[in-house]
Amino acid sequence: MSGSTVSITANQISTSRRRAVERTLPAGAPDNEDAAKITAADTAAAILKDARKTPAQTQPRKSGPTRKSKPRWLTVISILSKNLAFLVVLLGFVQMFRWVVFNSGHSDTEGFSVISGDLEGKVAEMEKFVKTTTKAMQVQLNAVDRKVDDEISSVRKEFDEKIEQKGDEFDLKFKALDVRSDAFEKFIDGFRKKSLLSKEDFDEFFEEFKKSRKNTGVEVSLDEIRDYARDIVEKEIERHAADGLGMVDYALTSGGGKVVKHSEPFGAAKGGSGGWLLNRNGVSAEAVKMISPSFGEPGHCFPLKGGSGFVEIKLRTAIIPEAVTLEHVAKSVAYDRSSAPKQCRVSGWLRGQGTTDVEFDTNKMFLLTEFIYDLEKSSAQTFKVVKSGASNLVDTIRLDFTSNHGSASHTCIYRLRVHGHEPSFVPMLER
């Protein structure tokens, strides 16, 4: 008999079971082993038969008037006593079943052994199935782990490549930003270095503009200021376009100036077509390049031998000198600027009547200016005269250079200019 059947019928039909047992044991039955066996079998059958009855069949018939309800504590005691009695009966039944099984003969023992062996085989098969299933599941889990690891590695690799690619793009953008920042800083520095019109300069310009107007009572318009500024710019352009500096050059050959003496030209000792043609005063025909306008092309100069030498120039007329300008080839177009003069000294004097071009009184010569020609500055550099007055009247100047910027073979003079003004009380001297 199964445990589930016993648990179902334990509380409901405990009384009926006791009655079934009493019915299966007739009065005066013999007390021996065979009778005990029959009685145990009949008792089990009776219990099963009684358990299959419906609650309606097992419920006792009520007779007479309706009974009054019992107190709850009595009901609890009744249920406990019934369950206790059922447990006693069940224990007895188990003891009888064990006694029947172990004393039923050899055939029953073999059947029990067969059932027990079959149960062990089933258990072994179940264990084997569980182990096989576990191994298969472990293999599947390992495969899933490997697949997950491969996917994670692939995603991580792709992510790292994208990060590296984005990092390279960011580096390029940062470098471009740095270049733009440097260019902007250079632009700002250049803008700061430019000489812009200050407020004082504008006020001075505006005052001059108001003085130039006839009707001072009319309001000033922006167009009038533009026209006035345009006129000033045009005049300055016209002035500088005449000779580049906007100052009169009294040494200009087309104005009457000429070279009267110089040191040995570079290449004069070669002779023939490669040498210089000298006149009776020993002046080269190419020396005129020093006092002629040029477009600043390289090589359009007069070279003198060595790193030192001199040049003497007769001016178109006697003047009161104010400045001297020495010009060399511009840095932007020059092949080599080492032949430019460096340490220079300019002197001047006034020739008297009856003197020749090559003769002069050294006592009359006086210093006008000393300077150093700087290659880092503009190609045409102007130097003011030390003393400028009516007593310093000159009609001849002399340039002496004692060094150049590195050339050991020659020194080139592209152009030499003399600036000043003519005194009104001095008559024109004979040239």
- Least confidently predicted of 58-62, 147-151, 197-201: 58-62
pLDDT of residue 21 exceeding 50, the answer is: no
Higher pLDDT: 205 or 215? It is 205
pTM above 0.85, yes or no: no
Looking at the chain, the whole-number percentage of residues with pLDDT higher than 70 is 66
- CA 37-42-46 angle, 5° bins: 150
- Least confidently predicted of 6-10, 81-85, 121-125, 316-320: 6-10
Residue 274: what pLDDT? Answer: 42
Confidence of residue 216 (pLDDT cuts 50, 70, 90): low
Confidence of residue 177 (pLDDT cuts 50, 70, 90): confident
Residue 25: what pLDDT? Answer: 45
- Least confidently predicted of 21-35, 87-101, 200-214: 21-35
Confidence of residue 138 (pLDDT cuts 50, 70, 90): confident
Q: What is the pLDDT of residues 148-172, one digit of tens each?
A: 888 888 888 888 888 888 888 888 8
Higher pLDDT: 262 or 50? It is 262
Looking at the chain, the whole-number percentage of residues with pLDDT higher than 90 is 26
Highest mean pLDDT range out of 41-55, 141-155, 393-407, 413-427? 393-407
Lookup: tokens for 44: 């089990």
Higher pLDDT: 173 or 59? It is 173
Query: What is the CB neighbour count within 10 angstroms for residue 324?
Result: 24
Q: What is the pLDDT of residues 80-118, one digit of tens each?
A: 777 778 778 887 877 777 777 666 554 455 555 555 567
pLDDT of residue 414 exceeding 70, the answer is: yes
SS (H, E, C) the chain: CCHHHHHHHCCCCHHHHHHHHHHHCCCCCCCCHHHHHHHHHHHHHHHHHHHHCCHHHHCCCCCCCCCCCCCHHHHHHHHHHHHHHHHHHHHHHHHHHHHHHHCCCHHHHHHHHHHHHHHHHHHHHHHHHHHHHHHHHHHHHHHHHHHHHHHHHHHHHHHHHHHHHHHHHHHHHHHHHHHHHHHHHHHHHHHHHCCCCCHHHHHHHHHHHHHHCCCCCCCCCHHHHHHHHHHHHHHHHHHHHHHCCCCCCCCCHHHCCEEEEECCECCHHHCHHHCCCECCCCCEHHHHHHHCCCCCCCCCCEEEECCCEEEEEEEEEEEEEEEEEEECCCCCCCCCCCCCECEEEEEEECCCCCCCCCCCCHHHCEEEEEEECCCCCCCEEEEECCCCCHHHCEEEEEEEECCECCCCCEEEECEEEEEEECCCCCCCCCC
Supply the mean pLDDT for the chain: 75
